[in-house]
Amino acid sequence: MIDDMESVTAKLCSFARAYHSNHEKNKIFDDYLAYDLMGKEEYDEIGQLIEHEYDKSLFDLAYNFSGKRIRDKLNRYISPIPLSRAAFAERELTRFTWQRGECQYVICGAGMDTFAFRNDNPNIQVFEIDHPDTQRYKLEKIRALEWNIPANVHYVAVDFAKDDMAVELKKAGYNPAAPSFFAILGVTYYLTLPVFEETLERIGAISSFGSKLVFDFPDDTTFTPDTAERVHRLSEITSSLGEEMQHGYALSEVSEALERHGFLLDEHNSPEKIQKRFFDGRTDGQQAYENIHFILAKKGDRFNDSYYLYI
């Protein structure tokens, strides 16, 4: 059955990236290594899970799921968020690195992210932060594939219940004075704002002036009575898999939380902007989620630095 060493929702996102790369011609984001890292067995398990409406008890080793039968459900409920947020994050990372010449890319909760092996820029030092069990599981897969870990890739195991992220990052070679780009993708859905702020505080304490942070978040319409059908359905799906979504955040709350920890809101991608940027003109049924926003924030001081907010 599906291994509990990585969250099932994280595996759903990996599956979405792999399926999109292998089956869609007009790609939002091409994670061409996602399938290899998952492996056929795990890919088939998640495919069955989707086809069987997320009922894990129906898993059957002898059953072959139909990629065509799950395509519509995958494109409506699962794929839009992980594909567009990955595209947004990596485009901003590329822009930041081009501007600064080099950077430290810190992926918080990296899961099955494959950037470390798709990246061809030696000026990007990659730091993958994850729970020790999750990271061990991923490294076992990498060894089984006989992939060579690049010299500029660093794995940082952090158990937030007992470890200090800053200490562990520094042990791995992270330099707090160097330009850094932090990504926290797919995390806020399961955290209250005060808990998420603890992460912002940690990052603010170890990032240099001008460093950037990217993340996605569900807004405060997420659990209102008139929320969109698929927003409600996605919440049901994650809940059935044991991963309960928390309430969403208001943009004003997010902006204030960032400022409390030394960050300025540099760019805000609303659902409408995400739709226009990644989904307009598509014929595969994918559309931006009605309640999901992307944020790019910059470490700085609004009184001593250029302050821009793109709505």
SS3 string, the chain, reads CCCCCCCHHHHHHHHHHHHHHHHCCCCCCCCCCHHHHHCHHHHHHHHHHHHCCCCHHHCCCCCCCCHHHHHHHHHHHHCHHHHHHHHHHHHHHHHHHHHHCCEEEEEECCCCCCHHHHCCCCCEEEEEEECHHHHHHHHHHHHHHCCCCCCCEEEEECCCCCCCHHHHHHHCCCCCCCCEEEEECCCHHHCCHHHHHHHHHHHHHHCCCCCEEEEEEEECCCCCCCCCHHHHHHHHHHHHCCCCCCCCECHHHHHHHHHHCCEEEEEEECHHHHHHHHHCCCCCCCCCCCCEEEEEEEECCCCCCCCCCCC
* 69 and 57 within one domain: yes
- Assess whether pLDDT exceeds 60 at residue 310: no
Across 38-63, average pLDDT = 89
The answer to whether position 309 is within a domain reads no
Residue 85 in contact with residue 273, Cβ under 8 Å? no
- Chain centroid, CA 89 distance in Å: 8
Q: What is the pLDDT of residue 88?
A: 99
Q: Is residue 112 part of a domain?
A: yes
| pLDDT attached to residue 6 | 64
- Taking all residues of the chain, what is their mean pLDDT, rounded to a whole number? 92
Q: What pLDDT, in 10s, does the model give residues 122-178?
A: 999 999 999 999 899 999 999 999 999 999 999 999 988 789 999 999 999 999 999
Structural domain contains residue 242: yes
pLDDT attached to residue 3 = 40
pLDDT at 263 (0 to 100): 98
46 and 165 share one domain: no
Q: Which domain holds residue 27?
A: 8-78
Q: What is the pLDDT of residues 228-280, one digit of tens each?
A: 999 999 999 999 998 999 889 999 999 999 999 999 999 999 999 999 999 99
Q: Is residue 305 part of a domain?
A: no
Q: Clarify whether residues 147 and 295 are in a common domain.
A: yes
Is 193 part of a structural domain of the chain?
Answer: yes
Are both 88 and 71 inside the same structural domain? no
Last residue of a domain, one of 39, 56, 78: 78
pLDDT tens-digit profile of 88-131?
999 999 999 999 999 999 999 999 999 999 999 999 999 999 99
pTM for this entry: 0.93
Residue 73 has a pLDDT of 94
Q: 289 and 149: one domain?
A: yes
Domain total in the chain: 2
Residue 2 pLDDT more than 60? Answer: no
Whether residue 2 is contained in a domain is answered as: no
Q: Choose between 206 and 8: higher pLDDT.
A: 206
218 lies in a domain? yes
Contact yes or no for 125/93 (Cβ under 8 A): no
Q: End of a domain among 59, 78, 97?
A: 78
User: Which of 31, 60, 78 is the C-terminal boundary of a domain?
Assistant: 78
Q: What's the pLDDT score for residue 308?
A: 42
* pLDDT above 80: residue 306: no
116, 182: one domain:
yes
Q: Is the pLDDT of residue 309 over 60?
A: no
What's residue 301's pLDDT? Answer: 63
Question: Is 311 a residue whose pLDDT tops 60?
Answer: no
Residue 276 exposure: Cα atoms within 13 Å on the Cβ side? 4
Q: pLDDT at position 302, please? A: 54
What CATH number does residue 250 fall under?
Answer: 3.40.50.150
- Please check whether residues 90 and 29 belong to one and the same domain: no
| Percent of the chain clearing pLDDT 70 (strictly above) | 95
